[in-house]
Amino acid sequence: MCARGLTLLELLITLSILSILLTIGIPSFQQQVESNRTRTATDALLQAIRLTRTKAISSNRRATLRKLGSWQSGWEVFYDRDFDGERDLDEPQIITAGPLAGVTVTANTPLTNYVSFIGSGESRFAGTLSSGGFQAGTFTICPTDGEDGYQLILTRSGRVRVARTTAENC
């Protein structure tokens, strides 16, 4: 009768090879997880900006995306009836989003607190139904470990484009 199985030497060689592969693979796997987390956060904010613009256009009234504390803490989208850039109790909320994990989101001065769109789809600072200075700026989304990130660039027309950014800009 023939015995089947592994000898101790074969088992040790297999475990050694497996440990070497794991040592090489785990750091790149963690980097991939961070990269995916950053891209997901970028997409979430991008979709919120696009939804806000779409709601403003489809209802022909001002819609605003406002941060909840900080941008990585979450945001809300609402119809801004009094055109002040802040949600009051009588202003209907469209959506809200919770915190983003593992990323930092910074905005330059024009986008510090909110992004607001008028009925034509243009981004405008708080003012009146169809006025206010044009609002354009950049969100920078970076992983907390300092790797490369993304920028969301809001143009005067209200459109947003995505660009990669380096770790130095994060």
> By the 8 A CB rule, do 55 and 77 touch?
yes
Condensed to tens digits (0 to 9), the pLDDT of residues 9-21 reads 888 898 899 888 8
pTM for the structure as a whole: 0.82
Least confident piece of the model among 20-34, 62-76, 80-94, 134-148: 20-34
Contacts of 42 (CB under 8 A, 6+ apart): 141, 149, 150, 152, 162
User: Would you state the pLDDT for residue 95?
Assistant: 96
Q: Residue 125's pLDDT band (boundaries 50, 70, 90)?
A: very high
- Asked whether the predicted pLDDT for residue 71 surpasses 80, the reply is yes
- Asked whether the predicted pLDDT for residue 131 surpasses 70, the reply is no
Condensed to tens digits (0 to 9), the pLDDT of residues 149-161 reads 999 999 989 999 9
**106-121 CB burial, b ≥16 within 10 A, e <16:** bbeebbeebbbbbeee
User: Would you state the pLDDT for residue 37?
Assistant: 93
Q: Residue 110's pLDDT band (boundaries 50, 70, 90)?
A: very high
- Asked whether the predicted pLDDT for residue 5 surpasses 80, the reply is no
The predicted model gives 34-57 an average pLDDT of 96
Query: Comparing 2 with 86, which gets the higher pLDDT?
Result: 86
- Asked whether the predicted pLDDT for residue 26 surpasses 80, the reply is no
User: Would you state the pLDDT for residue 133?
Assistant: 86
